[in-house]
Structures are given as C-alpha cells and as structure tokens.
Amino acid sequence: MFKKLSLKGSSNTNNQIKSSLQRNIKNSILAQYPKLKDIEEDVFPKKVPIVQVKCQNHINLVLINNEVLFFNEREGPYYPTLRFLHKYPNILPHVQVDKGAIKFVLQGANIMCRGLTSPGAKMEVDLPVDAIVAVMAEGKDHASAIGVMKMSTNDIRTINNDIGINNIHYLGDSLYMSPNLE
Amino acid sequence: MSDTESSTPSQPIVVVEYCKICSLPTEYCEYGPSAKQCLKENGPHPNNNKNTASGKDSSNTTATTTTTDTTTTTTTSTENTEEKLKDLKIVDDSKEVSHVDAGKSESKEATGEEKEKEKVSKKKKEVKPQIIIEVNQRNKRKHVTKITGLELYGIKLSDAAKVMAKKFSCGCSVVKSISNPNSEDIDIQGDFGEELVDLIEEKYPTVPLSEIYFLEDKKKVKAR
C-alpha cells in the first residue's frame, strides 16, 4: 500500500477538519479498537485538533500533534501506524511469523500460510476473515507489520496454502519512514 | 491522589528503542538497508542471538545435506554409463551412412522439432490478451486514465467509452494508441483506476480479473 507515499498536489491537503468530522473519526476509531477507551485521553488529548491529510490512491492519514497515528483507504477501516502500535501493542491481536519470513515481510510481501503454520510461528487467537492483526516475528518483541486476514485462522491451518494475511503497512515503508508530516 | 491514579493509563506506553541510522527498532536492524553500519553503531541486539526453533531445524537440514552428498557420489558412476549407452545408435549396414552422421542427422531433426515447439509457445504467449489501466498526471490535480486491450475481448470501444462517460460523468474518448498505431485506447478524464476494475467486472463478465493490470512506474501490477 505504501510503496510510495505522496501527498496530493492540492494546497489544502493538510486540513484541520470540522469538529463534527473530528468526532466521527474519533468515535469510529474507538469503536474499532475498544482497548483504546482506557487511554482515550492520551491518544486524543482535549483541545488538540485532529488533522486529516489526503494522499494519493484515496488514502487518508489521521494526525494528532503532527504525528501520524491512523490511516484508512477510502471509507474503509482505520489502521494504526506501526509507531503507534509499538507504543500500545495490545490494541491489536497478534500473529507470529517464523524467522524465515521476516525478510520478506519487511520487503512488503503478503504473508503466506506456510509462514504462519511452521514451527516458529504462532496463531493463538482465533480470528475471522478481514480482521486487522499485528504481525509479530519469531524472536522479536515488536510488530514487524500490520495486516488484514485474508483467511480465517482455522482455514490457514487446514488449507495451509496461498496468502493468509495481506500486508498493509510494514517496517521501512514510506509511511513508517515519514512519521511526522509538517 | 485518586486523580493521579485515574489518569495513569491501564495500558502503559511501551518505550521502543529505534535505531538512529535506519530508524527501525534496533532488533530489526539486521534486516534494514544499512545493517553493517547499524551493527557498528549499536552492537548486536540480544534478541538476535536467541536460539529459536528455526535455528535447531537449520542444523538438522545441514546434517541431511551431508548425507545426501555421500549418496550422490556413489551413484555417479552408474549414471555415466547410462548416459554413454543413450548416445549409442543402431544403424543398418545396408545404408551408406556412418555412425557419426546418423547421430548428427537425428540430432538435427530433434532441434528442428524443438524450434517448432518454441515457435508455437511464443505464439501462445503473444496471443494472451491483457487489459492495462494507466493513470497519468496531466497537471497538479488533473489525471487521465488510459485503458488498453479492451478490444481483444470483443468489446466495442465506442460503446464502452459511452458507458464509462455515463458511469463516471466525465469526458471519455477513443484515441489512437501511441505505442501501437494500429490499436486504439480509451482515455477518461479523471483518476478512475479502482472504479474501472469494478465497472469491467460488472459490465463485462467475459473479462477475467486476473488479466487486468495497472501500470505503475512502467511496471505491471495485478489489479486484483
């Protein structure tokens, strides 16, 4: 998704949006990630405006204090950025890939079922299709990518073939490398 | 006191150590673009030295490879004799052809067959029709979407252009292709890459989605 991150050429990309829209964004994020309700004050401080930046390919970034915290595509679900996920690792369910897959995940490749069922990998939580997950790595403490389940965990175990998780945002992509947009 | 307790989050913020050179978490430096520099700067990360399950597996695989090597050495002698026997040809003495020539003529025939096969395969490769969608930036905010290859699926371009113009409520025209003057493209005023795929899927079910590609930086990327 973020092979190249480029802001649209228009002058009003970096918009401080209407308060009603800010509320909508905040509510939809909190509805999507219930664990954020405990730390709502930290994530969305009062009297700090939420800024929405529009990028190419219909991607919207949500900024607070000039830091990208969430992004979404068109009207789709909001994904947290990796830097935000590193701060609050428990907001997403975790899936672990084996050591051999790390190199490919960090190049932006989708995660194959074999990488999720081999000895070094773990899928402890049962997840449905289209669930947003944090992709951890064997022997590492922090998430290496954020993905969307293309198959349910049960299907991944039984079919054990083809792509299991779509890689949305990974360490080293252009969104990760530009955390602050000024 | 109670106020301070309530303000402390139930999820404590995890402080992550990021590398100053590659800006990845230090444990991922070995996979970063400047692994050697990071190693000099930060030293080896403790997580990278853990003995994991995959490490054990790798030791097992090395053992198996050594065993397979020994087995291959024993079989080579028999394989050589088989190869030599394959090269031998039986030729009638009545025909005035030397043994060497017989081998050559047969090999020529074989190469001729291979060439024919290659030609057929090339033709097959060429025939494979593809729809290529390219979005070009005309101005800062103006885009033009170009579709090539629709006519290969028996779709009338003028009709398709009308459908697209109605659907996207924009200018849509059939233009001669720059790359191939014999064929024609459809130009749409605006950025409708993703929407086009949906429209093709809806209106023209004969077109397989696997054959629709986006042109991004002169590289073909599958649309779906």
When CB atoms are compared, the residue of A9, A90, A138 closest to B11 is A90
Task: Determine the distance in angstroms separating the CA of B124 from the nearest CA of chain A, rounded to an integer.
Answer: 27
Does the distance separating the beta carbons of A141 and B27 come in below 8 Å? yes
CATH number for the domain including B140?
Answer: 3.30.780.10
Task: Let me know whether A150 and A111 are in one domain.
Answer: yes
- In the structure, what pLDDT confidence band is assigned to residue B89 with cuts at 50, 70 and 90? low
User: What pLDDT score does B70 carry?
Assistant: 42
Task: Let me know whether A139 and A154 are in one domain.
Answer: yes
A149 strand-pairing partners:
A165
Task: Let me know whether A21 and A68 are in one domain.
Answer: yes
Task: Determine the distance in angstroms separating the CA of A139 from the nearest CA of chain B, rounded to an integer.
Answer: 6
If you measure CA to CA, which chain A residue comes closest to B49? A139
Evaluate whether A167 touches A109 at the Cβ level (below 8 Å).
yes
Q: At residue B24, does pLDDT exceed 60?
A: yes
Residue B140 CA to residue A176 CA, distance in Å, equals 25
User: What pLDDT score does A128 carry?
Assistant: 92
Q: Mean pLDDT over all residues of chain B?
A: 69
Task: Determine the distance in angstroms separating the CA of B4 from the nearest CA of chain A, rounded to an integer.
Answer: 13
Give me the mean pLDDT over the B50-78 stretch: 44
- In the structure, what pLDDT confidence band is assigned to residue B60 with cuts at 50, 70 and 90? very low
- In the structure, what pLDDT confidence band is assigned to residue B68 with cuts at 50, 70 and 90? very low
Q: At residue A32, does pLDDT exceed 90?
A: no
Q: Which domain holds residue A118?
A: 89-170
Give me the mean pLDDT over the B191-212 stretch: 84
Asked whether residue A180 is assigned to any structural domain, the reply reads: no
Does the distance separating the beta carbons of A39 and B141 come in below 8 Å? no
Q: At residue A29, does pLDDT exceed 90?
A: yes
When CB atoms are compared, the residue of A9, A38, A172 closest to B10 is A38
**Nearest in space to A140 (alpha carbons), one of B54, B34, B39, B37:** B54
The number of helix segments (H) and strand segments (E) in chain B equals: 6, 6
Cβ contacts of A91 on chain B, cutoff 8 Å: 11
Q: Mean pLDDT over all residues of chain A?
A: 83
Q: Which domain holds residue B25?
A: 13-48
When CB atoms are compared, the residue of A86, A100, A119 closest to B16 is A86
If you measure CA to CA, which chain A residue comes closest to B139? A9
